[in-house]
Structures are given as structure tokens and as C-alpha cells.
Amino acid sequence: PYVGPEYSKVQKIKKENLVPCILSYYKKPLLIHEGKMQWLFDHTGRRYLDMFGGIVTVSVGHCHPKVNEAAIQQMGQLWHTTNIYMHPKIHEYAEKLASKMPGDLKVFYFVNSGSEANDLALFMARAHSKNFDIISLRNGYHGMSPYVMGITALSTWKFNVPIGGGIQHTMNPDVYRGPWGGSKCRDSPIQTTRQCDCPAGACEASEKYYEQLQDVFRYSVPSGHVAGFIAESIQGVGGTVQFPKGYLKKAYEIVKSNGGVCIADEVQTGFGRTGEHFWGFEMHGVVPDIVTLAKGIGNGYPMAAVVTTPTIAQSLGSALHFNTFGGNPVASAVGKAVLEVIEEEKLQKNSEVVGTHLLLRLAQLRNEFAEIVGDVRGKGLMIGLELVADAQTRTPMSSTNFMDIWEDCKDMGLLVGRGGLNGNVMRIKPPMCITTEDADFTCEVIKKALENYLEKRRKNLS
């Protein structure tokens, strides 16, 4: 049973002792005190199905016994020395993680958070290319440090302070909100019923978005100035936005041909979540020069990594670079256990099977509630459901209405996330251990919440 302070006392402490700008979910935030695999329990003992996994972080299940065991065992032996000595755990882990990477991606720098990993990735790109300009996609999210706040291109996450310079943003290849259609051309098991402007077999939208990137080079980044290009494989915070097939491949080509390196931000899409592939970038048919990993890498344990090629790692030169906690023995033990669980429990396959089942059922909801469900998209267990006020104009659903539906889901025992520039996308990215029954429960709850919302709207109109 819960033994912490009373709910009202916790609220008071939160108000008085924690910074207010930290995002807080729900009008009456949950006081969570226990987690078991895909389930969370609040202070009253009520159980919730966690379809957001602590923002795509709990990859193999809350308090997974094998991961817990690895952490506890390591904690009893050695917590910390920094990496000034060798330690078997970090070396075993690096070797295992390298076996999951394609090409020459086999040199790691372990750090502690996604922002830190992206900071370091930009630093490596600049040091290697000896250039300064970084190109990122609008609507992308890459973290909150002042350096990477520059590449994050969502105004909701920008502060009016000096942030990383030398950043150019290109038009987001968003096939739902962008001007050129193309939603048939994204890599998803869902066939869209919405209008798509592309002729069969050729994605015109992809070409048009690519032209926008060419324009960035034409107007803003002169030949030989580019250090790198960074993109998520499916945008997470931006609302599970998928790009049309072929876009990323061409983007990588133009960046490389101009002397830049390509960075894949796999903080949300890595570790088998997208089902068909272990890494999200594989669905785009590209091999990056640098990959950043966080969140699911540690199933909730704070850790992250940058992986690159020996050549890029070498080009950092002879100056020293240091990180006190990165790759500590406990993190390394946890990271290795997470990889083993993904393999042993076939969680990548589970993401594909259960994710596809869930996507197809959500597509039925989209057809049934076409006036308010504008789009359903995603791959594996990286899913978004975009709610609209008007399906024709695709006007986003207002925050108040979205929150009604979202809160209703919570009251029925289902936790899902929220995202997108307009905050109107339901984000479903659960621990990868969920079952088909959990997927069905999710759909039933969302269906009921949409019905309740429409019923309320009808009553208000009459």
C-alpha cells in the first residue's frame, strides 16, 4: 500500500518546491506509486493501463524482473568509479549494443539523457566536418539543453534565451498537415482513406519536400558549410509524424554530398519499437553517421548514448572530453539486461504484431468517427491519433475538448500521451510487452471517450 504523504500535501509540495514550467498531465494529476510491466498503480491502489510508458521510456515493462535484478545485483557490487578505469559491464554492454548496429556504427559515448546525447552528436558533427551549420526538421524535438533547443523546432518548447546558433530548419515532410498530401506514401500498415495527391507508385509530396531542403542549401547554407542534418525517424513529441517514403534517403544524400554528416535521433523509435526493424532509420533505408539513443535504452533508468563510426570518433582529436556518470556500471548492467529481455521475449516482434493489430483497429475508429478523428498513423508501437474540430479543413481540436477526451480515458483506466504543435494528437507508445487484449481495451476506452465527447457536444448544441 501507498505510504507517502497525503495527496493534498504532495500537491502543496509540488506547487511550492518544484519549478512550475515542468509539464504536468491531467487537471488532477495522478499520484503514481507503483509500476508492474504495462500497469501503473496510483496512491489509492487503482490500476491503469500505461499506453505511454513514461513518455516512450519504459521499453520492456515497469520494474521488469530481469532488469531489476541486474540493477540490484550491480548496486550491491559497484555503483561508480567514472570511466577512468575499465569495468567489465561497460565493455560487455558496448559490445552487445554494437552487435545491434549496422555498418560501421560501433563506437559509443555513454551519457545520461537524450538532450545530452544530441548535444554531443552536434558537437561530433561539427568537429568532424569542421563546419558549423546544422539542418533540422520543423516540428522536430531533440531536447531542452540550450544547445539542442536550437534544433528542436516546436515553438511550444522554445524559451526566449540565447540558444544554439548555426541552425537552419527545413519544411517538415508532414503528409497530413503539409500542403502536398502524400499520406499513402508513409510506411504504415494503415491505408489512409483520406485524399492523397500522389499518382500510384510515385510520391510527389516527397519530391516537393525534398525541393524545400534543396532550397535550404540554395539560400541559407552555402556549399561546404554544412556540418550535419538531424531527424527523428518518426517524430515523437511533434505528434507521431511520419515522412513520405524516400524523403529521408534523398535528404541524407544531399547532406552527405555537401560534406555534412547525418544524425538519426532514435530516442523514441529505437530498440524494436517500430516492429519491423530494430532501429527506426532502417525503415527509411538509410545508415546514419551518428545515432543518438535514450529513453527506452534503460527502461526508465537515466542513461543515453551516442554511437558513431571510428572515423568520426577519431576526428574529435586529442583533446579530452569527459562525462562523470555516463556508462556507469549500474547503467551498463541495466542497458545490457534491456537488450537481453528484448531478445528473449521477442519484443520487437510483439511490437509489430500487437502494434499492427492496434493500428488497424484504430483505423476502424477513424472511419467510424471521421468527423473528429482526422488521422491515425504510426508503425509498431509508435502510434498517433490526431483529433480535429473539422475533418475537411483539418482544424485541430481545441485543447479544452482534447483534454476532455483524454481525461475521460484516464478515468476509464487508460493512460495515453499528448503531443503535436497544437496538442491535439493522442500518443500511444506503451511498454513493448503489451498484449492484443491490452490493445483491444485501449480501443474500447478511446471509442467510449469519443462517444461521450460527441454526446456532450450534441447536448450543448441542442
Q: Among candidates 55, 21, 23, 24, which has minimal Cα distance to 160? A: 21
Q: Among candidates 449, 438, 364, 406, which has minimal Cα distance to 190? A: 364
Q: Which of 54, 114, 178, 335 binds ligand PMP (CB under 6 A)?
A: 114
Question: Which of these segments, 19-27, 154-162, 191-199, 261-269, binds ligand PMP (CB under 6 A)?
Answer: 261-269
Contact flag: residue 142 with ligand PMP (CB under 6 A):
yes
Residue nearest to ligand PMP (CB): 114
Cβ 22 to ligand PMP, closest distance in Å?
A: 11
Q: Which of 119, 133, 187, 265 binds ligand PMP (CB under 6 A)?
A: 265
Taking the C-alpha atoms of residue 430 and residue 355, their distance in angstroms, rounded to an integer, is 10
Cβ 170 to ligand PMP, closest distance in Å?
A: 17
Cβ proximity to ligand PMP: between 118 and 422 the closer is: 118
CA-based R_g, the chain, Å: 22
Cβ proximity to ligand PMP: between 11 and 113 the closer is: 113
x/- letters, 82..111, toward ligand PMP (CB under 6 A): ------------------------------
Contact flag: residue 268 with ligand PMP (CB under 6 A):
yes
Angle formed by the axes of helices 247-257 and 204-219, to 10°? 20
Query: Residues 425, 239: contact at Cβ < 8 Å?
Result: yes
Q: Among candidates 285, 281, 290, which has minimal Cα distance to 134? A: 290
Contact flag: residue 113 with ligand PMP (CB under 6 A):
yes
C-alpha pair distances (Å), 149 with each of 138, 155, 158, 322: 12, 10, 7, 22
Q: Which of 41, 48, 109, 141 binds ligand PMP (CB under 6 A)?
A: 141
Q: How many residues in total does the chain contain?
A: 462
x/- letters, 345..384, toward ligand PMP (CB under 6 A): ----------------------------------------
Taking the C-alpha atoms of residue 437 and residue 321, their distance in angstroms, rounded to an integer, is 48
62 phi and psi angles, rounded to 5 deg: -55, 130
Contact flag: residue 115 with ligand PMP (CB under 6 A):
yes
Contact flag: residue 119 with ligand PMP (CB under 6 A):
no
377 phi and psi angles, rounded to 5 deg: -150, 170
Tell me, by CB under 6 A, how many residues bind ligand PMP: 15
Interface contacts to ligand PMP, rule CB under 6 A: 55, 113-115, 118, 141-143, 232, 236-237, 265, 267-268, 294
